[in-house]
């Protein structure tokens, strides 16, 4: 069943855990969203044909460039896409670093899928961003 108002949201998911990427993609599709998944920040950056995302779900700890570093690069380029961080290792200093920049939330990978969907729902209610 689709969530009211999110039918055309395109969500980018960057996580090195393949099973988590598949699970999140299934959850988002079931909610009527359009997920695109990437195994690393570098893979995400290399995808020149990617659409404009309505929200990014980034793993904090990735091999190579971290999710926080990816968010920082995107923000420095003027990209205002809302970012939601997910992590398997909730370290207070990493959480503080992630929350210091623009992001809409910070979740543990063990949190219920409804938490992820609720965070994305908040994106739907945000005012339109410049393109």
Q: What is the pLDDT of residue 66?
A: 94
Tens digit of each residue's pLDDT (9 = 90 or more) over 8-56? 889 999 999 999 999 999 999 999 999 999 999 999 999 988 888 999 9
- Give the CATH superfamily of 10-124: Response regulator (3.40.50.2300)
Read off the DSSP letter of residue 48. Answer: T
Question: Where do we find the tokens 């920049």?
Answer: 101
Give the pLDDT confidence score for residue 60 in this predicted structure. Answer: 92
The pLDDT value recorded for residue 7 is: 60
pLDDT tens digits along 73-120: 999 999 989 999 998 877 777 777 777 877 888 888 888 888 899 888
Closest CA to 5 of 125, 93, 115, 106: 125
Task: Round the CA-based radius of gyration of the chain to a whole number and report it.
Answer: 14
Q: Which residues is 83 bridged to in the sheet? A: 56
CA distance 66 to 84: 14
Query: Is there a contact between 11 and 53 (Cβ–Cβ < 8 Å)?
Result: yes
């Amino acid at each position: 069943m689709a969530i009211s108002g999110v039918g055309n949201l395109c969500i980018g998911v960057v996580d090195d855990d393949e099973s988590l990427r598949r699970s999140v993609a299934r959850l988002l599709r079931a909610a009527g969203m359009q997920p695109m998944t990437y195994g690393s920040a570098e893979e995400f950056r290399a995808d020149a044909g990617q659409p404009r995302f309505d929200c990014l779900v980034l793993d904090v700890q990735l091999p190579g460039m971290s999710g926080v570093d990816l968010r920082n690069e995107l923000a420095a380029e003027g990209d205002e896409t809302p970012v939601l961080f997910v992590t398997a290792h909730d370290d207070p200093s990493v959480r503080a670093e992630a929350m210091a920049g623009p992001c809409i939330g910070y979740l543990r990978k063990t949190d219920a899928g409804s938490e992820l969907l609720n965070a994305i729902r908040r994106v739907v209610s945000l005012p339109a961003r410049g393109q």
